Amino acid sequence: MAVGLNAFPEIPEIKGVRFAAVEAGIKKANKKDLVVFELSEGSSVAGVFTQNQFCAAPVRVCREHLASDTTTPRYLVINTGNANAGTGKSGYEKAITTCEAVASQVGVQKHQVLPFSTGVIGEPLPVDKILAALPNALSSLKSIGWKDAGLGIMTTDTLPKGAFRQVEVFGKIVTIGGISKGAGMIRPNMATMLGYIFTDAAVDQKVLASLLKSTTNQSFNRITIDSDTSTNDSCIAVATGLAENESISDLSCGDGLVFAEAFLAVMQELAHAIVRDGEGATKFVTVEVTGAAQVNDATKTAFEIAHSPLVKTALFASDPNWGRILAVVGRAGVEDLQVDKVSININGCEIVKNGGRSSDYTEEAGQVAMAPSEIHILVDLGAGDCSDTVWTTDFSHDYVTINAEYRT
């Protein structure tokens, strides 16, 4: 059951982007499992992908096609129900076959098609089902009704995830909208499976790539559900330019900054949505580490807390077992940790001060602090001015059930 996840928003038309979601029969009957996006000619496209060395065949093909030449991608094809990972040469060929089928039907080159897959790892991709469903998808492209696309890329997600913002850039209203999915094997490293962010703003391709990379590090690369980095993580940003604004080339000030902030807001909302719908989640947990001597100390401490099964089970029980958090801080590998300067605060309740239990702390106050479904764990290392934030979930019986029965 998702934690505080809003209903799918009414994302408006994004000029230059059309899509369709159909049933190819890869997942169970009556489930949309094939999504196609069409991008207008001349769109800027940027992607970030998993750092897992066992990356899936479609990730390899995406990287090759994005690097292949100067013609930009025109189609994204996404199937769920099968990850096409660990499938060797035959899996690679099936990803190429998918691209070729789209290309021949719409009259583009095959490297202008980017393939994506998500689902069980190691099973042969049922490419025939995809090929059979493509004509239907390509003939039903539309500009609104984004919820269908959100539904079409889900695996163990319980709800579709979307977000959008509209801002004025150089006198033009531009829209930034996107969809994402989770909900397990979530510890993205460079990107997550799957995020797609579209805008009709005109954005220089290199600027878009830089923006995607920096905002990924403040959104998808800062969430974790179970510490397992997927083989298929992919996040794609598309700027069609059809809003006809003056092209954005500087993100550091003025309207460029307004756009960058709106872009980050969409990225964070989509990333948080994945956590809110994390497998078995009953809590949405923000882990903020401040007072670090270097950012890396804050980042790794926050991730270690977010990954600890003991912390996560205590969160599930709403148990203020702060000793487990303290134990993680001690093993997180912070150099020269001054244990007597560490403080821990949960939802505004000061629990640990100077490395030990705060004199004002009571077990009752801790229980009140841990009761809500939204939890903010704030750890201050007392060593400097650097900080970082990670978002995660608790660890529940449902997580075990979902993952013990995933393939059955």
Q: Does 403 bind its own copies (CB under 8 A)?
A: yes
Of 123 and 204, nearer to its own copies (C-beta) is 123
For residue 50, the minimal CB distance to its own copies (Å) is: 8
- DSSP codes, 270-317: HHHHHHHT-TT---EEEEEEEEESSHHHHHHHHHHHHH-HHHHHHHHT
Instruction: Classify 250 as helix, strand or coil.
Output: coil
Identify residues 65-94 at the interface with its own copies (CB under 8 A): 83, 85-89, 91
Q: End-to-end distance of the chain based on CA atoms, in angstroms?
A: 20
Q: Does 62 bind its own copies (CB under 8 A)?
A: no
52, 117, 216, 392: which one contacts its own copies (CB under 8 A)?
52
317, 365, 368, 386: which one contacts its own copies (CB under 8 A)?
317
Q: Does 40 bind its own copies (CB under 8 A)?
A: no
- DSSP codes, 88-130: HHHHHHHHHHHHHHHHHHHTS-GGGEEEEEEEESSSPP-HHHH
Structure tokens at 227: 């510490």
Q: Does 220 bind its own copies (CB under 8 A)?
A: no
For residue 399, the minimal CB distance to its own copies (Å) is: 7
321, 347, 373, 389: which one contacts its own copies (CB under 8 A)?
321
Distance CA 321, CA 311 (A): 8
Of 222 and 307, nearer to its own copies (C-beta) is 307
Q: Does 372 bind its own copies (CB under 8 A)?
A: no
Distance CA 203, CA 217 (A): 20
For residue 143, the minimal CB distance to its own copies (Å) is: 36
Q: Does 362 bind its own copies (CB under 8 A)?
A: no
Q: Is 23 annotated as a binding residue?
A: no
Q: Does 51 bind its own copies (CB under 8 A)?
A: yes
Distance CA 277, CA 183 (A): 6
The piece of 210-218, 265-273, 354-362, 384-392 that touches its own copies (CB under 8 A) is 354-362
Of 251 and 352, nearer to its own copies (C-beta) is 352
Distance CA 289, CA 382 (A): 10
Identify residues 323-352 at the interface with its own copies (CB under 8 A): 323-324, 326-331, 334, 337, 339-340, 342, 352
Q: Does 390 bind its own copies (CB under 8 A)?
A: no
Q: Does 316 bind its own copies (CB under 8 A)?
A: yes
Instruction: Centre a 10 Å sphere on the Cβ of residue 347 and count the other Cβ atoms it contains.
Output: 17
Q: Does 252 bind its own copies (CB under 8 A)?
A: no
Q: Does 401 bind its own copies (CB under 8 A)?
A: yes
Q: Does 376 bind its own copies (CB under 8 A)?
A: no
Nearest alpha-carbon partner for 155 in 113, 190, 121, 191: 121
Q: Is 181 annotated as a binding residue?
A: yes
CB 130 within 8 A of CB 113: no
Q: Does 254 bind its own copies (CB under 8 A)?
A: no
Distance CA 400, CA 181 (A): 20
Instruction: Classify 87 as helix, strand or coil.
Output: coil
Please give the angle made by the CA atoms of 43, 234 and 232, to the nearest 5 degrees: 145
Alpha carbon separation from 161 to 9, 91, 150, 195, 272 (Å, rounded): 9, 28, 6, 10, 10
Distance CA 65, CA 68 (A): 5
Instruction: Centre a 10 Å sphere on the Cβ of residue 23 and count the other Cβ atoms it contains.
Output: 18
Distance CA 335, CA 212 (A): 31
Q: Does 294 bind its own copies (CB under 8 A)?
A: no
72, 109, 205, 227: which one contacts its own copies (CB under 8 A)?
227
Q: So which residues are the catalytic ones?
A: 192
Under the rule (CB under 8 A), what is the footprint of its own copies?
51-55, 83, 85-89, 91, 120-123, 184-185, 189, 226-231, 307-310, 313-314, 316-317, 319, 321-324, 326-331, 334, 337, 339-340, 342, 352, 354-357, 395-397, 399-401, 403-408
Report the binding-site residues for substrate.
155, 181, 192, 279, 403, 408
Report the binding-site residues.
155, 181, 192, 279, 403, 408
